[in-house]
Amino acid sequence: MIKLKNKYFNILTIINKKYSKMAEHSNVIHLNYKEFDAKYNELKQQGKPFAVLFTGDNVPGTTDSWCGDCVRAHPVIQSTVIPKCAELHIPFLEVLVGLREEWKTPTHLIRNHPDLMLTNIPTLLLNEKGKFTKKLVEGQILNKSLLEDFFELDD
């Protein structure tokens, strides 16, 4: 019985290390875009800061997004953004917007959300006191200086 538990633990450890460093931080919340509004309203009402990343879903059967810019931003999100959110004790929402065809639909919920009106992914937003105050889009997420400014929270 113990051997099975150890094997199970080892498998989970390998999976976590390889595919989901985000899982190491308890402040990370994974959502699909249809779940976003409920969580957004809950966090907005609390009035505390939180960060949101809108990104493309993985291509079925792979561990990579269909969105090339999202793939390029992923290491920065993992190594910089998520740890910084953890350090600041603010929630980080990763919101999957769907596959390419779904995201490109003009009536997509996130494209038409009155507080967002997004046109590009990846998009990283910071919400402070119930309003989105900062935004980085596509290649801006890779810019170290812009990321540092992004996490300068208003008091």
- What's the pLDDT tens digit per position in 79-111? 999 999 999 999 999 999 999 999 999 999 999
By DSSP bridging, strand 123-128 and strand 92-96 are unpaired
Q: Residue 117: its pLDDT value, please? A: 85
pLDDT digit string, tens, across residues 49-79: 999 999 999 999 998 899 999 999 999 999 9
Of residues 136, 51, 43, 47, the one with CA closest to residue 88: 51
Which CATH superfamily hosts domain 25-150? Glutaredoxin (3.40.30.10)
- The pLDDT assigned to 26 comes to 76
pTM: 0.81
Task: Provide the annotated active-site residues.
Answer: 67, 70
Q: Per-domain residue ranges for the chain?
A: 25-150
Judge whether residue 154 has pLDDT over 60: yes
Neighbour order of strands in the sheet with 50-55: 28-32, 92-96, 50-55, 123-128, 131-137
Q: What is the pLDDT of residue 21?
A: 41
* pLDDT of 138 over the 50 cut: yes
Cα distance between residue 135 and residue 131, in whole Å: 11
Encoded tokens for 136: 């980085």
